[in-house]
Structure 1
Amino acid sequence: MTGLAVTGHRVHVRAPGKINVFFEVGDVQDDGYHDVASAYQAVSLYEDVWAEHSDEFTIAVSGTVDVSGVPEDDRNLALRAARLVAKEAGHTGGVHLDIVKHVPVAGGMGGGSADAAAALVACDALWGAELGTATLLRLAARLGADVPFSLLGGTAIGTGRGDQLSPALAKGRFDWVIVTSDDDGLSTPAVYAHLDELRSRVDVVPAVRAPDVDPAVLQALRAGDATALAERVRNDLQLAALSLRPDLRDALELGEAAGALAGLVSGSGPTLAFLASEPESALELQVSLAASGYRALHVHGPVPGARVVAG
């Protein structure tokens, strides 16, 4: 996870965004949260975080995506992650974090969680804390359900609130085309709330009580079979996301007509993920979507989680 032993005054860590290739949402619980069962895959769209010594805890955010809505105070998960590492390690100083974002903000790909995971690894390396994977995972779980997966990367099954992780074997490479949105992102709590509302109507199938990942999804991942995986991809939040953003349906239909094996809303949206049969097909799909005016990116997975980058 931490990659290199680091000495010096500045540490660079890169952490991946993710796609939920399968996401089943259970009934809302008494505390307002939902149990879920998810198959996560880390993909080659990364967040970059630099950490350097400082007397205070400060942060600066820039990127190739719109970062205007990203907080630069203690509402930011990365800054909270740094404080957790400092407390755990007994570090009495602070840190300055420079975050360069490439994962869409509020896009359903876990960019904020990737920032937090990168900050955990960066601060641990910068301060020579050597907290270890188990401790970093424990801190990650305190920050949010997706943060532990951002630490581990690869492919994993998440249950409970999504943070009870079990690594899953994924053979070979899966190629995806990501379509990002120029419009405002979707709030994850708002999407869940709208799903509950939709499920309360008699014409919508109610939530399952014990979410579980379809065994056929695991078989497809183990076999490295994109065609088989395409038959089983699913996202229970898609119903709510498309209800809140009906325009996304047009892009989904276009991508599937242009050759995608399957298309789905990524997480809580509004980012869309299209599975392709091979790299060449993904490139053709990317060109077709871009020609129709969409911002399309070709990525692949699985890739490792948060890692120190040399240089």
Structure 2
Amino acid sequence: MLACETLWRTGASRDELLAICAELGSDVPFSYVGGAALGTGRGERLAPLAVGGTFHWVFAQADGGLSTPAVYRAYDRLAASEGRTVPEPEADPAVIDALASGDAKALAAAVHNDLQAAALDLFPALRRTLDAGTEAGALAALVSGSGPTTAFLAQDADSARTIARALTPHCRTARVTTAPAPGAVVVGQ
């Protein structure tokens, strides 16, 4: 979106570009903005969050895929079979506080993914990947979104590299990264 605006100089405002991003997909506005944000709606409405440090992550891409609609159906099925209703999503103050303080251990204790059980129900092999990351020292191991990518929070950069090496036999690829990350930028202008 930014590249098109830079090339074509349409004069679109940031809000107009974000609206177009949201039409492309719920996660596209976040990629455009970067940083840390609380997503509401389908995830396309973003409110910036303060981050007090750098967090070290490993993302492992599974061999195979998962359909997002199928994961949501599995979530609904599992919730119904357990007799629970699907709650309205809400911001977790523990996550927001951990981000603001830059405390990786506090963030690890606070993060969770409501879709994880459904993703594991449909793709049980992801459990081995999660276990391998935990055994390698991940502070937190969870399915990212509806999967099949898995995410591992590490204490520091060295730990992240160790976790990535341990995950290699259990996934297609494992990548080390840090957060927060900048949003879209034009390079070489």
Q: TM-score, normalised by structure 2?
A: 0.94
Residue 197 of structure 1 is matched in structure 2 by 77
Residue 130 of structure 1 is matched in structure 2 by 11
Give yes or no for contact 2:134–2:140 (8 Å, CA) kept in 1: yes
Alpha-carbon separation, structure 2, partners of 1:199 and 1:261: 27
Alpha-carbon separation, structure 2, partners of 1:296 and 1:255: 11
Q: Which has the higher helix share?
A: 2
Q: CA deviation at 1:147?
A: 1.6
Q: Quick one: which of 206, 211, 215 aligns to 2:85? A: 206
Alpha-carbon separation, structure 2, partners of 1:181 and 1:140: 27
Alpha-carbon separation, structure 2, partners of 1:272 and 1:204: 28
- The one-letter amino acid of 1:147's match is V
SS of 2:167's equivalent in the other structure is: helix
Q: CA deviation at 1:289?
A: 2.0
Residue 178 of structure 1 is matched in structure 2 by 59
Residue 21 of structure 2 is matched in structure 1 by 140
- The one-letter amino acid of 1:287's match is R
Q: Quick one: which of 67, 70, 74 aligns to 1:187? A: 67
- The one-letter amino acid of 1:144's match is G
Residue 236 of structure 1 is matched in structure 2 by 114
Q: CA deviation at 1:266?
A: 0.4
- Structure 1, unmatched stretches of 5+, are 1-119
Residue 146 of structure 2 is matched in structure 1 by 268
Across the aligned residues of Structure 1 and Structure 2, the Cα RMSD in angstroms comes to 1.4
Alpha-carbon separation, structure 1, partners of 2:6 and 2:76: 42
Alpha-carbon separation, structure 2, partners of 1:250 and 1:143: 33
Q: Which has the higher strand share?
A: 1
Equivalence map 1:212-223=2 (5 Å)? 212-223=90-101
Equivalence map 1:64-103=2 (5 Å)? none
Alpha-carbon separation, structure 1, partners of 2:42 and 2:102: 27
Q: CA deviation at 1:288?
A: 2.0
SS of 1:234's equivalent in the other structure is: coil
Residue 250 of structure 1 is matched in structure 2 by 128
SS of 2:86's equivalent in the other structure is: coil
Residue 25 of structure 1 is matched in structure 2 by none
Alpha-carbon separation, structure 2, partners of 1:147 and 1:289: 27
Alpha-carbon separation, structure 2, partners of 1:303 and 1:271: 18
SS of 1:270's equivalent in the other structure is: coil
Instruction: From the CA coordinates, give the structure whose radius of gyration is larger.
Output: 1
Alpha-carbon separation, structure 1, partners of 2:144 and 2:32: 19
Give yes or no for contact 2:95–2:107 (8 Å, CA) kept in 1: yes
* CA deviation string 1:139-197 (max 9, x = no partner): 222222212111101100011221121000112211011111122x2111111111111
- Structure 2, unmatched stretches of 5+, are none
SS of 2:56's equivalent in the other structure is: strand
Q: TM-score, normalised by structure 1?
A: 0.58
